[in-house]
Structure 1
Amino acid sequence: MLSPTDDPTISPGAALLDRVRILLDLPPVRPALDTHATVPLPSRLATAEIAWASVASAMLAAGLSPTVIDPHRVATAYRSDRVLAIDGVAPPVWSPYSGFWRTTDGWVRTHGNYPHHAAALRTALGLQDDADADADAVHAALEERTTADAVAAITRLGGLAVAVSAEDPAADRALRAAPLLEVRHIATSARRHPHHSRATAPQDDRLPLAGMRVLDLTRVIAGPVCTRTLALLGADVLRIDPPHLPEPEWQHLDTGHGKRSALLDARTERMHELLAAADAVVLGYRPAALDRLGLHPVVLAERYPNLVVAQLSAWGVDHPDRAGFDSLVQAASGIALIESPDGDRPGTLPAQALDHSAGYLLAAAVTTLLQRRMREGGSWYTGTSLRRIAAELLGMPRDREPQGEVEFDIRPHLARFDVDGTALVTSRPAMTGLEFDAPHPWGSDQPSW
């Protein structure tokens, strides 16, 4: 290890779990957990450690012991897109417009999985008349541009691209000076009476959120992993998507377990009726977009007292207009160059670990705050960002070279469902001892509790 922890007898994952435990005022692990089995997610950075600590945090918040975590189960869950099968076929999870591209002076990373982002990329590169433009066409267009010109052209039209950059230790230290999870009480001028289910103790000790209503306004892995975890812990989770922005089927089926799914314009009165009856709302849209929709966390807490508001963003609330995904944050934060396979080409973490870790950590905070609200009342806010998770990972111990891949039998870690006639194979929960309910087809439910 290049950066040993202060106490070499305590694993980095156990040290991170203890920090999250103190932050959320959770009880200590009994017996004390200084080491743990290694999660097989090999990389130079401490991907295995942050994955274990994130899942362990969610378990501890739920009153479950992290000592029972199966490291193979965690690795499978973090790489769920690799084991996903729909009617026996592994879906293509990356668009030809998503990837690393060499420029005249470096590299850029693009993300074009959504059709509107792909269209913006094609237009920026002069490929707008070719809806079937392939990766070779993108490569040819980008290799003639500077990194700055390429990023500016693509983002100006609403596409997604970042420069592949070296890590900035000073910037990461500044980010780590703020808590990994922001937690605060939001004072409100009014009170509302909880609906009856909030006062009902769960019948199953493993389901501490039974009876809780969670409104899910998230997309793309991190937020859906958070709300999938809340559903796993017994919450009634209702995901709402805008009718004009379809979700890729594979992406929804990979993270939609145990949730209902409905389509609704967020600006309608019906949305506010849902919020008025919710215990928590999880927000995953850009902060500026939330402001335009009247869904700023402070506004929600004031309008709906006793609400727990959780917020996820790619870059943090200090960058309200900037859209992003795990792959883009890896590239911009320095992770891609650290994980280079050859010292030239950018690389990636062995999983979309920023997304998954953010999801489990935020689920831990929401679980804790829902229980705290039961005792203390009031509205509560919690939030984090993929960039903050990246800064945490970059501050953890790292290896000079990644360990080799570990072969293990994934079959015990797979779940099978019938989703409206579709045969679905996905990963089982990373949280040992619990099992998912099947996802509902996207948009198939009514927007009601």
Structure 2
Amino acid sequence: MAHPAKDALHDLLTAASLPLPWAQAVAFPGAGPGLPSSFHLGAAAQASIAAAAVAAAGIHLRRGGPAQHVTVPLRHALAEFRSERHLRLDGAPPPDPWDALAGLYRCGDGGAVRLHTNFLHHRDGILQLLGGLPPERAAVAAALQEWSATRFEAAAAGAGLCVAMLRDFGSWDAHPQGRALAAQPPLLIERIGDAPPTPLPPLGARPLAGLRVLEMTRIIAGPVGGRCLAVHGAEVLHLSAAHLPSIPVLNMDTGRGKRTARLDLRQPAGAERLRGLLRGADILLQSYRPGALARLGFGPEAAAALRPGLVYASLSAYGEQGPWGGRRGFDSLVQTATGFNQAEAEAAGTPDQPRPLPCQALDHASGYLLALGAMAALLRRAEEGGSWHVRVSLAATGQWLRGLGRLADGFAAPDPGQEDIADLLEDSESGFGRLSAIRHAAQMSATPARWAVPPMPLGSHEPVWSGGGAAFPAPPSSG
């Protein structure tokens, strides 16, 4: 019987146009569901983390390094898919990032909608749309009885808010956006400009040493992509802006391995500084809503014109094509809209109690796919030349997860607590205090994965390249 993670890894390498024989050096210890779910979350975690590690090992090999083996244990991969949940700051859990109003609500027509209110302006916008309500769950629940689920989802989207109507798989597959995504692979890599071949840097101690990544992402998926590139040795400079909201606990977890600076692209000086940084970058990771950076002059083609040979990697919620191509979204909303919550409820025998996946699987898998695509594009840049655009969406990742099949006994799996994953943690000093966090799950035989830079509060550094040297010594670790 085929191993589901091995099959999934082959699918990802095929989508990235990477050699399938590279998968032969990968081991997937562990068996079973791993988390209580009817979906193959373990296979998705192992395969996506392994695919990125295989791409990094391939780059190291092409630079003259040795061939190496990659091992991704099931238990460790799933713990990393819940890394934000297992983070501890000075020995205690950090504040809960979820807003009190976030969650699923029934509407007057019997349908349901999920609200994402973790950003204050999204929460206030929903309260205003509902008639200027106070921030109380009971008031929101009562007001939604005056709406149908379809009408409220559409009204919220029209107001730029973050809401998703509960659907089952059949409804999503029949939806115009579901149909637009139906034939798409989990990642897309396309040439968007001409440039001569760019050789990979001379061999370094780590697979991505000497490669520079500009990261313009928030929340989980995009930052996980940057964190993955950093763990294999890339210099990652994360850019934010003071006027943009953020969630500190997520920055603590996904900021490992990165320096962080602030730029306001609405100001001429900030835009000019970004142009300078782009001219020295190999990869730009961005997870803003489709079209947002283009309106500021930094869309894929414009960025590639500034830096011929750039790999521009974009993450979106629902893809860039179709009627929802510009819609805002987060993992929890995409799970709801595309059928996962209802499918889990039915598999658990509680069809009237929509059930989220036990981890932000779409976020985490998409982050590793974003890193995978960026590294695959670097290899193509070295061989063929050109500038490249990598596209990943949470909804397409969900479609890939669905394609891995279902588990008949998945809910019999235990739900691991902090004590169950204690051996997978590493301790380090940071700009927030002493952190305990999940180590990277991909074990590399020749170039062990590690983060050389501790996480710091947003804006702690200047928006300049470091010249390839580490800004901080490698943090101590234990466990």
* TM score, norm. by length of structure 1: 0.89
1:352 aligned onto 2:360:
yes
> Any conservation in 2 of the 1:42–1:404 contact (CA below 8 Å)?
yes
Q: Shift of the alpha carbon at 1:208?
A: 1.4
Question: Is residue 39 of structure 2 the alignment partner of residue 45 of structure 1?
Answer: yes
Q: Residues 10 and 34 of structure 1 are in contact (CA less than 8 Å); yes or no, is this contact kept in structure 2?
A: no
Q: How far off is 1:30 after superposition? A: 6.2
Matches within 5 A, 1:125-274: 125-128=130-133, 130=134, 133-168=135-170, 169=173, 175-188=181-194, 200-204=201-205, 207-267=206-266, 268-274=271-277
Identical aligned pairs, as a percentage? 37
The letter of the residue matching 2:14 is I
Rounded to whole Å, the distance in 2 between the matches of 1:325 and 1:372 is 30
Aligned 8 A contact 2:27 2:70 in 1 = no
Tell me the secondary structure at the aligned position of residue 324 of structure 1: coil
CA distance in 1, matches of 2:13, 2:234: 22
Q: Please state how far the C-alpha of 1:33 moved relative to its aligned partner.
A: 6.4
Distance 1:272-1:31 versus aligned 2 partners, 3 A rule:
closer
Q: Identify the match of residue 124 of structure 2 among 119, 123, 127.
A: 119
Residue 108 of structure 1 and its aligned partner are, at CA, apart by: 0.4
What are structure 1's unaligned runs of at least 5 residues?
1-8
CA contact (8 A) 1:202 1:209 kept: no
Shift of 1:186: 2.4
In 2, distance between residues paired with 1:94 and 1:334?
22
- Aligned equivalent of 2:12: 20
Query: Structure 1 residues 148 and 179 mapped into 2: Cα distance closer, same or farther (>3 Å)?
Result: closer
**1:125 CA drift (Å):** 2.0
- Specify the alignment match of 2:73 in structure 1: 70
Name the residue aligned to 2:338: 333
Counterpart among 450, 457, 469 of residue 435 in structure 1: 450
The secondary structure found in structure 2 opposite 1:282 is strand
Query: Are 1:343 and 2:351 an aligned pair?
Result: yes
Unaligned residue ranges in structure 2 (runs of 5+): 59-67, 466-479
1:102 corresponds to: 106
Partner of 2:470: none
Tell me, yes or no, if the aligned pair for 2:216 and 2:239 is still in contact at 8 Å.
yes
Letter of the structure 2 residue corresponding to residue 411 of structure 1: A
Look up the match of 2:55: 61
Q: Post-superposition shift, 1:328? A: 0.6
Give, in whole Å, the separation in 2 of the partners of 1:31 and 1:251.
34
Q: CA 1:325/1:397 → structure 2, altered by over 3 Å: closer, same or farther?
A: same
1:310-389 alignment runs, 5 A limit:
310-318=313-321, 319-340=324-345, 341=348, 342-389=350-397
TM score, norm. by length of structure 2: 0.84
Change (3 A) 1:63 1:173: farther
Q: Deviation of residue 228 (structure 1)?
A: 0.5
Please report how far the alpha carbon of residue 240 of structure 1 lies from its aligned counterpart in structure 2 after TM superposition: 0.8
The alignment covers a number of residue pairs equal to 431
Mapped partners of 2:4, 2:56: distance in 1: 22
1:174 CA drift (Å)? 5.8
The answer on whether the counterparts of 1:326 and 1:354 sit within 8 Å (CA) in structure 2 is yes
Alignment CA distance shift 1:324-1:31 (3 Å): closer
Q: CA deviation at 1:307?
A: 0.7
Return the alpha-carbon distance in structure 2 between the equivalents of residues 210 and 32 of structure 1. Answer: 22
SS of the residue aligned with 2:57?
Answer: coil
1:414 partner letter: L
Structure 2: distance between partners of 1:426 and 1:119? 33
Q: Secondary structure at the match of 1:410?
A: helix
Counterpart residue type for residue 383 of structure 1: R
Q: Greater shift after overlay, 36-45 or 309-318?
A: 36-45
Alpha-carbon shift at residue 66 of structure 1 (Å)? 6.6
Please give the per-residue CA displacement for 1:308-337, whole angstroms capped at 9, x wherever unaligned.
111110011113421000111000001110
